[in-house]
A and B are shown apart, each in its own frame.
Chain A
Amino acid sequence: MSNKVIHVLYNDDDILMDAVKQTRAAHHHIEEVYTPFPVHGLDKAMGLAPTRIAIASFLYGLVGLSVAITMMNYMMIVDWPQDIGGKPSFSYIQNMPAFVPVMFEMTVFFAAHLMVITFYMRSKLWPFKEAENPDVRTTDDHFLMEVAAHGDVDQMVSFFQNTGAVEVKVIEEKH
């Protein structure tokens, strides 16, 4: 049995939002929505789980802070505690103010870069990646909602035509 999906195209984000709400109310499963720009509140309307990337970033920041502290404690206090311009190098805390700029920058560096890399990996983005948009117009001025087709496909098509769609297509999935 082949899998079918329905591609519903809209040309306005307000109509799209209403359509998403109607679709959810009618218990059709939305596979994906393609938009040319971020639509405010779309994730909530679709019922997507909130992102946890901020939590990841916070933890990465702590890693960066630990790296900075460990590195400077080893280099400046443990390995070769030299007297440089009279700065006290007997313990980490005594010379800490001088280390704070590095601690701060390392925290920001780790938090920012590891978060971005996490984002790329979780959204499967990398160079030479094959683009996945089902309709080139979705990068310009059209909005596309992809819904899994089940049961009476003709009835579903007429349902989506009533949601303000400019185009409804039934697609036979390749795989």
Chain B
Amino acid sequence: MYTFSSKLKTFSFVLIALGVLGVGYSFFTAPKTIEDVEKILAAEEAHGHGDHGDAHHEAANPHGEDAHGHHADKHDIHKEVSTSHTGRGDGHQAAGHDAHAEHDEHHEHLEHVLHQLQNKPWSALYVGALFFMLISLGALAFYAIQNAAQAGWSPVLFRVMEGISSYLLPGAIIVFLILVAGVMDWHHIFIWMDESVVANDHLLQGKAGYLNGPFFLIRAAIFMGGWILYRQYARKNSLKQDEATDNLYYKKNFKASAAFLVFFIVTESIMSWDWIMSVDPHWFSTLFGWYVFASFFVSGITVIALITLYLKSKGYLEYVNTSHIHDLAKFMFGISIFWTYLWFSQFMLIWYANIPEEVTYFITRIEDYNLPFFGMVAMNFLFPVLILINTDFKRLSWIIVMAGIVILCGHYIDFFNMIMPATVGDRWYIGMAEIGSVLLFLGLFILVVFTALTKAPLLAKRNPLIEESKHFHY
């Protein structure tokens, strides 16, 4: 049996406390009124963008010094992403050059920035919550695949995977509450939830049959309910199999896993439209579901590898050898390439055809998020490919840990890139809100996962494949 070391427990509480402070601070300091925004912009103007110290400002403002002109220049882009924040994008274009119209435009700009800044702490919280919830979902999908495929190498890792997927229940509840908060109009991550915006937006009216609050929440509840149901059922059967005299519970788990995988791939795809794609409600992409899947699946596998290495280093996993680690590393390597393949397929098809309706999605990302957008390709593709291609490296703990941390950071940035451009636009910054939210959910994740690991022996005793797995050698 695993005992939760008090050091790690304290560490997770510290992370949660720091996270709460960071997130609380960012909510507290978010501007409340247009006057606040005016002050912020004036301060930025005074500093000048060049020596502001924010790398993103240099990347984000190729069009001019003054934020106002910059806004006008990029009006078309903003229109796609966030017009909807004002709901009056068209009037803006028609604005003449007389002082009155200019004043209107300035006011509208301030309001636009206000909404972006108010969205920032919420979006940071949402990205963190979603990322960690999807990691445990990715580990659960991996577990289901191993069960359904009757893999002979992985049963010694099943309890680790079950431990990681235990975060699904609290994680899903948190994400659901954030979605409910959106429908309740407490935040504006999902612009289509704002009825005044929909009233002025023909495209959103057309999508209202699908994108409406009640249906959205019902879908979310069904998806999360199904995943959690499978997770709890599989865990229960896995524990019963330890005490059983036959393989009944193993067979039940086999069938449940096969059924879950069918349910999962359908709900996962719809989930990615709902929770991620719909922050850009004017934009759509058909392979988006796969792309999101690859991103959190590789993160889930990476977390399995990292936690396995941690437990192994503490002497808890007697039968795990370097061949098991090697296999996990091969999955990290392969799925990283799979993610890149989907990332590139989505990007290249849209870049190549350059249809204005679709391409704004990537224009905002390349202009305003240049470093994170291309940096994540280096972190999620180049680095793992060059490091994990070597067989000997795939057996070295420190290489796996290093590659794993880079992959996890890279995929956090991936989710950051999916959500932020639509909610905060060029006002992004990785500051208190973002780091606080990651620390908060990381602490919670460690607390929940390692508590679950103490609840059952770390070796599934009577799994029919456990002997093979104990002696697995590659």
Cα A70 to Cα B354 with chains together (Å): 26
Q: Are A100 and B354 in contact (CB under 8 A)?
A: no
> Which stretch in B29-37, B86-94, B343-351 binds the other chain?
B343-351
Interface secondary structure of A, over-half rule: helix
Q: Are B351 and A97 in contact (CB under 8 A)?
A: yes
Q: In this complex, what residue of A is CB-closest to B347?
A: A97
Residues on A with beta carbons closer than 8 Å to the beta carbon of B347: 97
Output the least CB separation between B62 and chain A (Å).
Answer: 15
Residues on A with beta carbons closer than 8 Å to the beta carbon of B352: 97-98
Q: Is A86 an interface residue (CB 8 A)?
A: yes
Q: Are A58 and B389 in contact (CB under 8 A)?
A: yes
Within 8 Å by CB of B348, from A54, A86, A97, lies A97
Q: Interface readout for A56-95 with B: 1 if CB under 8 Å, 0 if not?
A: 0010000000000000000000000000001000000000
Within 8 Å by CB of B344, from A54, A86, A100, lies A100
B339-389 residues at the A interface, CB under 8 angstroms: 344, 347-348, 351-352, 354, 389
Output the least CB separation between A96 and chain B (Å).
Answer: 10
Q: Are B354 and A86 in contact (CB under 8 A)?
A: yes
Output the least CB separation between B303 and chain A (Å).
Answer: 28
- Give the size of the chain A interface in residues (CB under 8 angstroms): 6
Q: In this complex, what residue of A is CB-closest to B354?
A: A86
Residues on B with beta carbons closer than 8 Å to the beta carbon of A97: 344, 347-348, 351-352
Q: In this complex, what residue of A is CB-closest to B351?
A: A97
Q: Are A100 and B389 in contact (CB under 8 A)?
A: no
Output the least CB separation between B447 and chain A (Å).
Answer: 42
Cα A47 to Cα B26 with chains together (Å): 62
Output the least CB separation between A25 and chain B (Å).
Answer: 22
Residues on A with beta carbons closer than 8 Å to the beta carbon of B391: 54
Cα A100 to Cα B351 with chains together (Å): 13
Cα A60 to Cα B465 with chains together (Å): 40
Output the least CB separation between A170 and chain B (Å).
Answer: 38
Q: In this complex, what residue of A is CB-closest to B350?
A: A97
Cα A97 to Cα B391 with chains together (Å): 30
Output the least CB separation between B216 and chain A (Å).
Answer: 34
Residues on B with beta carbons closer than 8 Å to the beta carbon of A98: 348, 352
Cα A175 to Cα B382 with chains together (Å): 53
Residues on A with beta carbons closer than 8 Å to the beta carbon of B351: 97
B306-358 residues at the A interface, CB under 8 angstroms: 344, 347-348, 351-352, 354
Residues on A with beta carbons closer than 8 Å to the beta carbon of B344: 97, 100
Cα A98 to Cα B348 with chains together (Å): 7
Cα A54 to Cα B394 with chains together (Å): 15
Residues on B with beta carbons closer than 8 Å to the beta carbon of A100: 344, 348
Cα A25 to Cα B354 with chains together (Å): 69
Output the least CB separation between B336 and chain A (Å).
Answer: 15
Cα A97 to Cα B389 with chains together (Å): 24
Output the least CB separation between A147 and chain B (Å).
Answer: 29
Cα A58 to Cα B344 with chains together (Å): 22
Q: Interface readout for A11-54 with B: 1 if CB under 8 Å, 0 if not?
A: 00000000000000000000000000000000000000000001
Cα A135 to Cα B329 with chains together (Å): 43
Q: In this complex, what residue of B is CB-closest to A97?
A: B348
Cα A100 to Cα B389 with chains together (Å): 20
Q: In this complex, what residue of B is CB-closest to A55?
A: B390
Residues on A with beta carbons closer than 8 Å to the beta carbon of B389: 58
Cα A93 to Cα B354 with chains together (Å): 17
Cα A98 to Cα B354 with chains together (Å): 12
Output the least CB separation between A125 and chain B (Å).
Answer: 25
Cα A98 to Cα B347 with chains together (Å): 11
Cα A97 to Cα B344 with chains together (Å): 8
CB-CB nearest 6 A-B residue pairs: A97-B348, A97-B351, A98-B352, A100-B344, A97-B352, A100-B348
Since A98-B348, A100-B344 are in contact, a sample of 10 more A-B pairs with Cβ atoms closer than 8 Å, ordered by chain A residue number, is: A54-B391, A58-B389, A86-B354, A97-B344, A97-B347, A97-B348, A97-B351, A97-B352, A98-B352, A100-B348
Give me 12 A-to-B residue pairs in the complex whose CB atoms sit less than 8 angstroms apart, sorted by A's number: A54-B391, A58-B389, A86-B354, A97-B344, A97-B347, A97-B348, A97-B351, A97-B352, A98-B348, A98-B352, A100-B344, A100-B348
